[in-house]
Amino acid sequence: MKVLVYGAGQLAQMMNLAGAPLGISVNAVDVKTGKVVNPVDKSEQADSLKNAIDEANCLTVEFEHVPVDLLNEAHASGKLSPSFESIRVGADRVIEKKLLERLGIANCAHRVVTAIDQLPEVVEQLGDKLILKASLDGYDGYGQWRLSSREQLVELQQTLSALDLQKVPLVVEQMQTFERELSLLGARNANGDIVVYPLAENLHHQGQLHVSVAPASALTDELNKQALAIFTALADELNYVGLLAVEMFQVGDRLLVNELAPRVHNSGHWTQQGAVTSQFENHLRAIQNLPLGSTEATGISAMVNVIGCGGISKEILSVPNTHLHWYGKSVRKKRKMGHINVVAESYSELSARLSELNTHLPAEYFPKLPDEIQRLAALR
């Protein structure tokens, strides 16, 4: 079995590692050059893209922002999973919002803006605490602006005046007060079989995910039922095949969908050591229409992102049940360089292990970790 992944970053690399025990060979496409590369060492392969498509059993993506010409070519092969339509839902916030509205899935109050002079009216409708998101190509906090008061509106309009909002509209959302962000990851194969992982709780800093803990604490049956109903409605409507991530805000006993990601996802990296079957393996199983693996958690896990940091002390491996995943990238500010998974039998034990881990980490790159250690210590 051969899989060709559009995108040659760490997600393709981890799909490759998950595929090897299953006898699935994974190659990647550098979407900037259109060249076929090895997903681990990034060396260019002799195969042309056309031949690689012809030889692959299945094509998939590691991120939703694949150039449309490449995505069209993949779609034309009849081998693309998830589908072209599913990938575009994750790539275009306007399409995403329309899908949520059509299915009656709760999300943040919003308006689509195609001209700067529409903003004053939007402020009247939604209030003056807003987050403005580019409908295309925004991720990790990029392509986003905030309005905190009406006094900032003129300055914000000037900042946005250079944008072509006819070409790339803004989705303007009412800033939501919420208890926490949760994400649900699940897989669906072509038979319509669905498995979902336990909900993860995510902590962000400057628009980027820094820590995920799974299973999330204090989950009620009602929250789990809501999350499963949301996932199932989306997956069935899209006739989805593959791994799908749904990011949600918890507001009281209600879940509001924030974003969809039609791919393996950063908030699911904990599954590599913290679940019976990792998200990467289940994605490959789903797109090959194989039986899906158990998503049962094997403990309480934390995934800690390593962002913009050029090196980590190997002493972290002295912490029990701690695993380092290094991506081999050149260092750049806000770039995800790797992640660390820690597994424990309880939240308090996880807190203790993260506290020990924290002694080996440069504090400036892990600003959310101390608060999370304290939060987990108080849980039973």
Q: What is the pLDDT of residues 312-352, one digit of tens each?
A: 999 999 999 999 999 999 999 999 999 999 999 999 999 99
CB 352 within 8 A of CB 313: no
pLDDT of residue 201: 98
CB 244 within 8 A of CB 231: yes
pLDDT of residue 247: 98
Under 8 Å CB-to-CB from 199, ≥6 apart: which residues?
182, 183, 184, 214, 215, 216, 219, 223, 224, 227
Do the domains 180-377 and 109-174 match in fold?
no
**SS3 assignment, position 308:** coil
pLDDT of residue 99: 98
Structural domain boundaries in the chain: 2-80, 109-174, 180-377
Q: What is the pLDDT of residues 369-380, one digit of tens each?
A: 999 999 999 997
CATH number of the 109-174 domain: 3.30.1490.20
CB 374 within 8 A of CB 363: no
CA distances from 303 to 10, 109, 243, 350, 357 (A): 15, 30, 18, 11, 12
The letter for the amino acid at 164 is D
- Return per-residue pLDDT of the chain as tens, 380 residues: 999 999 999 999 999 999 999 999 999 999 999 999 999 999 999 889 999 999 999 999 999 999 999 999 999 999 999 999 999 999 999 999 999 999 999 999 999 999 999 999 999 999 999 999 999 976 655 689 999 999 999 899 999 988 999 999 999 999 989 999 999 999 999 999 999 999 999 999 988 999 999 999 999 999 999 999 999 999 999 999 999 999 999 999 999 999 999 999 999 999 999 999 999 999 999 999 999 999 999 999 999 999 999 999 999 999 999 999 999 999 999 999 999 999 999 999 999 999 999 999 999 999 999 999 999 999 97
pLDDT of residue 137: 78
CATH topology (fold) of 2-80: Rossmann fold (3.40.50)
Question: From the centroid of its chain, how far is CA 319?
Answer: 27
Return the CATH superfamily for domain 180-377.
ATP-grasp fold, B domain (3.30.470.20)
Measured CA to CA, the distance from residue 162 to residue 149 in angstroms comes to 22
Under 8 Å CB-to-CB from 176, ≥6 apart: which residues?
108, 249, 251, 256
Helix (H) or strand (E) holding 58: strand 58-61
**SS3 assignment, position 194:** strand
Measured CA to CA, the distance from residue 138 to residue 149 in angstroms comes to 23
**CB under 8 Å, gap of 24 or more: what pairs does 294-297 form?**
294/195, 295/186, 295/187, 295/195, 295/196, 295/197, 295/198, 295/271, 297/197, 297/198, 297/214, 297/215
Q: Print burial letters for 260-277: b (CB count within 10 Å at least 16), e (below 16).
A: bbbbbbbbbbbbbbbbeb
pLDDT of residue 141: 55
The letter for the amino acid at 302 is A
pLDDT of residue 58: 98
Q: What is the pLDDT of residues 40-84, one digit of tens each?
A: 999 999 889 999 999 999 999 999 999 999 999 999 999 999 999
* Average pLDDT, rounded, for the chain: 96
Query: Structure pTM?
Result: 0.95
